[in-house]
Amino acid sequence: MLTIGELASYTGVTVRTVRHYHAKGLLPEPERDHSGYRRYDAGAVVELIKIRTLAEAGVPLARVRSLLGAGEEEFAAAIADIDRRLRAEIRERQRHRERIARLVAGEHLVLPPEVVAYLDRLRALGVDERIVQAERDGWIPLVAQSPERVPEWMARKGEQLDHPQLVDFFLTLSQALDRADDDPRLVELADELAAYITRMADERGEDYVDDIDIELPLAKLMDTLAFATVPPARRLIELLRQRGWTGWTKLERVDPTP
């Protein structure tokens, strides 16, 4: 036989909790012995563990009372329902944790993992962070509009980054960021970029270079974001037009401007 203190200790609750359950009618109070102490048997231990487990699972005490008096089948069904609710809560809390982690991670907040991995690959290649930010800012509205196409686009981007010429373009553009519009290196860069685009279009088709395939208004918005972050890009577009291509986000072949 156990004292109230021993019962509380064995079941992982406080004496105050045991008395609270007495007051709520969840745990019957035993009679006092000849010394004036209440003594609890093994059945009280089992009942108290049930009460504690249900209460910790978030079951209201009024519901706990009815469950303790339920038959085997009703009790099992109720426990299964509680388990389903707890698993749903765990999944929801996990989603909350993921959102919190994205807040800490910055771009993870609004971009799927595939795009973040692409941006990280640009960084690993040594691309200037301003260019990476321009890419990131462009992908944010794109992903918001067509999230289902992200895997397709990222597969194409990954394939393109396997081409040394495109990597060289990014690295050269990185070097050109702080150059003036009349810097001759921008002209050389435009020549290199136009040659790369033309070669890809001739080998794989113009659909390959216009790989994002989005509406013009969104493309213009993305261009504006890029130009704000990478000012030399605007001058490059002018130079590209003279070489038969126009657009930054959405590339199109045009008649060269004299």
Q: CATH number of the domain that 55 lies in? A: 1.10.1660.10
* Rounded-to-integer distance, Cα 226 and Cα 233, Å: 7
Question: What's the pLDDT at 212?
Answer: 62
* Rounded-to-integer distance, Cα 183 and Cα 187, Å: 7
159 and 127, same structural domain? yes
The token pair at 29 is 């109070």
* Rounded-to-integer distance, Cα 46 and Cα 16, Å: 18
Contact 253, 245 (CB under 8 A): yes
Q: Which helix (H) or strand (E) holds 77?
A: helix 72-105
138 and 96, same structural domain? no
pTM over 0.85: no
185 and 170, same structural domain? yes
97 and 44, same structural domain? no
Structural domain including 78 reads 71-105
The answer to whether position 258 is within a domain reads no
The token pair at 7 is 């019962």
* Rounded-to-integer distance, Cα 203 and Cα 57, Å: 63
Question: What's the pLDDT at 211?
Answer: 56
**DSSP secondary structure, 159-209, as one string:** HHTTSHHHHHHHHHHHHHTTS-TT-HHHHHHHHHHHHHHHHHHHHH-HHHH
Torsional class of 23: left (φ above 0), alpha (ψ -120 to 50), beta (otherwise): alpha
Residues of the chain with pLDDT below 50 are none
* Rounded-to-integer distance, Cα 99 and Cα 211, Å: 30
Contact 209, 201 (CB under 8 A): yes
CA distances from residue 128 to 97, 168, 177 in whole angstroms, order as listed: 31, 12, 9
83 and 40, same structural domain? no
Question: What's the pLDDT at 15?
Answer: 92
Number of domains in the chain: 3
142 and 86, same structural domain? no
* Rounded-to-integer distance, Cα 8 and Cα 4, Å: 6
Question: What's the pLDDT at 102?
Answer: 54
Contact 28, 62 (CB under 8 A): no
Q: Which of 81, 105, 129 is the last residue of a domain?
A: 105
* Rounded-to-integer distance, Cα 86 and Cα 58, Å: 9
